[in-house]
Amino acid sequence: MKHRDHRALCDYAARFHTAQGPVWAEIRNVSEFGARVAGLFESPGSRVALVLRMSEIRGRVVWRRAGLVGLRFDRPLSDAEMAMIRGTVEASRAVRNTAGYHRFREL
């Protein structure tokens, strides 16, 4: 596997739509073009959709090994979508007076 994009480490529990139905899995790293995901057991070539609060990002599994899969998104993630997944300050400003993106109340 060759990384051509800058990947940001993260620990984000996300919901995915798969051919078998909805699945919760953990995004381990992310770039605007793809992600490494733990707990998603789809085969290479399978179509999936990452469900975020503001959007649904479609993509496909490009590799699978040792409980991890690599996703390639059909379109680049927006800055707001990247911030949400990475859990940065910009994401916490997007939604006020609610639980944070990692299920913790923002202070």
Walk me through the domains of the chain, giving residue ranges and CATH numbers.
8-94 (2.40.10.220)
The model's pTM is: 0.76
Question: What's the pLDDT score for residue 64?
Answer: 97
Nearest to 82 by CA among 72, 90, 74: 90
pLDDT tens, residue by residue, 14-23:
999 999 999 9
Residue 104: pLDDT over 90 = no
What's phi and psi for 57, nearest 5 deg? -105, 115
Nearest to 58 by CA among 69, 70, 71, 68: 71
DSSP state of 95: S
Grade residue 55 by pLDDT with cuts at 50, 70 and 90: confident
Instruction: Compute the residue count for the chain.
Output: 107
Mean pLDDT value of segment 37-50: 96
Mean pLDDT value of segment 31-49: 96
Residue 54 or 11, more confident: 11
| Average pLDDT value for the chain | 83
Kindly report the CA angle at 30 between 85 and 34, in degrees rounded to 5? 120
